[in-house]
Structure 1
């Protein structure tokens, strides 16, 4: 029998209660490994708080919207797990997702792992689709992470620290963390042995509607100051990254029948 490490799942939320309910319900239904659930409410005003306090979860309620990095860090500091999941509230997981990611982490020795994802509307049978996807793509992997759902071993935080709270609200903090982790010697990976659904950019769009229109520019400026380049880099970096991404996606579709991250309308 496989022995898994203790796991904590950290989910920051800001309004969008219907997405949060779907996310938490899928975790309750599909998670096959005992875990601690930590939810950080960034001052939601749509009834999210009332829903959260009915759950079997540790709930942290902030008086104002502190943004993703600060909320993630609050959840990490309040968690007990040796492995910590950082999840968006607009994802839906599938059966066996957590054990699949833990096996991948253990087998490859990665410090950070992510599942494959289908993005867009949830207008299909997710569990049936996931079963076929995993059957085809279980052997596929990428040396990158998917920011909407990451499992991070605590030793990564012990070595490089928490998320940089200089990034406000949402954007660039996951890339910054990835770069710091890989620079410190940790390997990372996304596996086709697990699939989730991601509605996509829900929290960020909610923040924009709230009136915080300039957070991407502020985050990009902070990233540039810190790394002496932008996330996408100069024209040569962008063209090279786009070419690599296109070739990788094309190879995955030919080899496995799917790309590990697929976007639909």
Structure 2
């Protein structure tokens, strides 16, 4: 019997090194010969076509180009030209662990009316640049395991960097909205539209790693883009602020001012105080993790400001040091955005509580 075809759709702009790493992780676990194809959709510039045409992978790689593209257009184009029964959408900065593709494919085939989410985690290792995640490791894994046992999630748990769904479900939802011309919120709109059309969500055991490292400049550009996207989101879904209020209204309110320099440790302490007060893991229902922090001080400050403007809760940037032994710790941190970092992961000696 011929295995159902899995189509992996990768929207990308440049990022050859990331794309190579992702494709190699796919090649290491191609579920079955002839049962998988990859569609790479380049956005605005054709920078990967030549080397992809010469590359030797155990699956066919199709190259497409969206001259005026954005993430939504690229994903939609990939879904249009591919031939798979199951569509796996993945960003170029993701790397899959062994066995992940088969799990995503099989779960989607077993439950074609759900969007199946990969279990995406930060790649363990040394913090090499500002913007890398820090996590409270035991709590983080307990939360993920709880979500995996629940199985069914709502739209706020959806992230678009690694998910699979049946072709029929994607068509029923109607694809991504190409009106999101800037970064962000196209996944929120897609997920809410999916939920309202009767498509559900489930977290599966397929493990993937996110190679995410954002510096101060790219973070600032990202927040500007989010402002544009938030406006379009509220036009598409007027009641979105009643459903998922954290951040959207605040971003629309206008620009935020922030200091040029930060004491990172005290900023982290302030952010944790805000998160404890708001209990963001509960409010976000999985989409915003209370354990997720950025090393970058500007990002943290903006988050604090956004939460304060929306909730009325204020956090002082106190000199309290960041010394939470339950967390992955920064052994040394810069005193300003321009400084260097020598932060390392200090994993707990005991295994995370499986309960």
TM-score range for the pair, normalised by the shorter chain length: 0.7 to 0.9
2:99 maps to which residue? Answer: 96
1:199 maps to which residue? Answer: 211
Deviation at 1:246, TM superposition (A): 8.2
Deviation at 1:218, TM superposition (A): 1.3
Whole-angstrom CA distance in 1 between matches of 2:97 and 2:41: 22
Whole-angstrom CA distance in 2 between matches of 1:212 and 1:117: 21
2:62 maps to which residue? Answer: 58
- Structure 1 length normalisation: TM-score? 0.74
Deviation at 1:50, TM superposition (A): 2.6
Determine which structure has greater relative contact order: mean sequence separation of CA pairs < 8 Å that are 6+ residues apart, divided by chain length: 1
Whole-angstrom CA distance in 1 between matches of 2:218 and 2:9: 23
Deviation at 1:83, TM superposition (A): 1.2
Whole-angstrom CA distance in 1 between matches of 2:169 and 2:230: 24
Partner of residue 225 from structure 1, selected from 223, 235, 241: 235
| Residue pair 2:120, 2:162 contacting (<8 A) in 1 also | no
| Greater helix proportion | 1
Whole-angstrom CA distance in 2 between matches of 1:119 and 1:82: 29
| Residue pair 1:69, 1:169 contacting (<8 A) in 2 also | no
Unaligned runs of 5+ in 2: 127-140, 250-274, 291-350
Question: Structure 1 residue 180 and structure 2 residue 219: aligned?
Answer: no
Offset from partner CA, 1:40-72 (integer Å, 9 cap, x none):
111347x533322224311012335x1100111
Whole-angstrom CA distance in 2 between matches of 1:244 and 1:4: 41
Deviation at 1:213, TM superposition (A): 7.1
- Structure 2 length normalisation: TM-score? 0.57
| Residue pair 2:45, 2:67 contacting (<8 A) in 1 also | no
Whole-angstrom CA distance in 1 between matches of 2:78 and 2:145: 32
Whole-angstrom CA distance in 1 between matches of 2:118 and 2:188: 17
Partner of residue 243 from structure 1, selected from 263, 268, 282: 282
Q: How many residues of Structure 1 are paired with residues of Structure 2 in the alignment?
A: 237
SS in 1 for 2:175: coil
Question: Structure 1 residue 156 and structure 2 residue 175: aligned?
Answer: no
Question: Closer, same or farther in 2 for the Cα pair 1:105/1:122, shift >3 Å?
Answer: farther
Deviation at 1:168, TM superposition (A): 1.2
1:15 maps to which residue? Answer: 14
Q: Which of the pair has more CA radius of gyration? A: 2
Question: Closer, same or farther in 2 for the Cα pair 1:256/1:159, shift >3 Å?
Answer: same
Partner of residue 115 from structure 1, selected from 110, 113, 118: 118
2:354 maps to which residue? Answer: 256
Aligned-pair Cα RMSD in Å: 3.7
Deviation at 1:146, TM superposition (A): 3.2
Offset from partner CA, 1:194-250 (integer Å, 9 cap, x none):
111111377xx8x959x7873211110000111113484168x99475435589979
Question: Structure 1 residue 28 and structure 2 residue 27: aligned?
Answer: yes
Deviation at 1:31, TM superposition (A): 2.5
1:67 maps to which residue? Answer: 70
Question: Closer, same or farther in 2 for the Cα pair 1:220/1:208, shift >3 Å?
Answer: same
Whole-angstrom CA distance in 2 between matches of 1:201 and 1:167: 23
